Amino acid sequence: MSEISIIKLMDGSTIVGKLTITNDIVEIEHPIELVSNITPIGSILGEQINLRPWVAIAEEHIFTIDRYNVITVASLQENFIQGYERMVEHIYFGEDKWEGSLLEKEGELPTEEDLETISDYAEAILKKQIH
């Protein structure tokens, strides 16, 4: 049996990580979310699983979940453990890709024209001119 577990949450999320369960909380270390997509493969439907960090830009590696939000817990199959560990290494210990501002180009503030364009775009959305 693996120490790496899969949890299914009330909101429909499926998360893989190392769990510590107490009476009221579940702590999950290095959580990776499994995102399922149903895709047609010829005349049948197939399922594609994508992996992504659960909380992508957080400093922490351990997260707390209220236990009542957990529907079920299962052990990760042995043949998926190495893949999970590679993902953890890449996501949590790899080179940080979230450096700098997410809103502005490095060393450059938005121009008045940029702000006007953003304002016009927001107004069009609010007036339902853009869907």
- Dist. CA 46–CA 40, nearest whole Å: 6
- Dist. CA 41–CA 77, nearest whole Å: 25
**23-45, pLDDT tens digit by residue?**
999 999 999 999 888 888 888 88
Note whether 49 and 71 are same-domain residues: yes
Q: CA 64: distance to chain centroid?
A: 15
Note whether 53 and 111 are same-domain residues: no
Which band of pLDDT confidence, cut at 50, 70 and 90, is reported for residue 96?
A: low
Residue 7 has pLDDT above 70, yes or no: yes
What DSSP character marks residue 42? T
What DSSP character marks residue 77? P
Domain count of the fold of the chain = 2
Residues spanned by the domain of 11: 4-93
Dihedral pair phi/psi, residue 83, rounded to 5°:
-65, -40
Provide the whole-model pTM: 0.66
Note whether 12 and 74 are same-domain residues: yes
